[in-house]
Amino acid sequence: MNKEEFKASIRNIPDFPKEGIQFKDITTSLKNPECLKWAKESVVRLYKDKGITQVIGLESRGFIIAPAVAMELNAGFVPIRKPGKLPADVISIEYSKEYGTDSIQIHKDALTENDIVLIHDDLLATGGTIEAAIKLVKSIGVKKIYVNFLIELNDLKGRDIIDKDIEITSLVSF
């Protein structure tokens, strides 16, 4: 498995979840064990020497690779979820994305000031979700933040709204 084979395994769904959106569907990649393994190992390779203590997965597709990466990095896993899904005290933020507004939450006690975190999600589009996640993490306070995506949609320039002091990696881009 290589980068081009992984990229070719991603299915395009036109007009989902609404007209005009070209949805990049990773389920076709995930059902292939070689693609799944390549994605996990590629992320681990990028971050194995960064001192990551917590891997944060964004609901919902960020939950697929992030826990496996966390195990390989000997780090914990922290979910960022949609409202009403986390049982303890949370911090919330509302944000805009390419087809509406949304809200995400993290447990108030999920991170410490000594944590070095990797925030992982499946896709970077306009950047609204990751910008909100970074704000949540910064509101708790951590030592360092890294960000990773399986896919980046270059034309939507989501990277441009992310703080310049945060290292961003994507496995493939369209």
- Look at the alpha carbons of 47, 48, 52, 56 in this order and tell me if their dihedral is positive or negative: positive
Residue 94: CB atoms within 10 Å: 10
Across the range 34-63, mean pLDDT stands at: 98
Within 13 A of 136's CA, how many CA atoms are on the CB side?
31
- Give helix then strand counts, H and E, for the chain: 5, 9
- CA triple 72-74-77, angle to 5 deg: 90
Contact (Cβ atoms closer than 8 angstroms) between residue 160 and residue 127: yes
Cβ burial of 42 (10 Å; 0-12, 13-18, 19+) is buried
Residues carrying an active site annotation: 61, 98
**40: β partners:** none
SS3 content of the chain, % helix, strand, coil (to 5): 30, 35, 35
Residue 131, pLDDT score: 97
The pLDDT tens digits of the residues spanning 4-45 come to 999 999 999 999 988 988 999 999 999 999 999 999 999 999
The number of residues in the chain equals 174
Per-residue pLDDT averaged across 129-152, rounded?
A: 97
- Place 54 in a pLDDT band, splitting at 50, 70 and 90: very high
pLDDT of residue 98: 66
What pLDDT was estimated at residue 17?
86
Q: How is domain 50-173 classified at the CATH fold level? A: Rossmann fold (3.40.50)
Residue 100 scores a pLDDT above 80: no
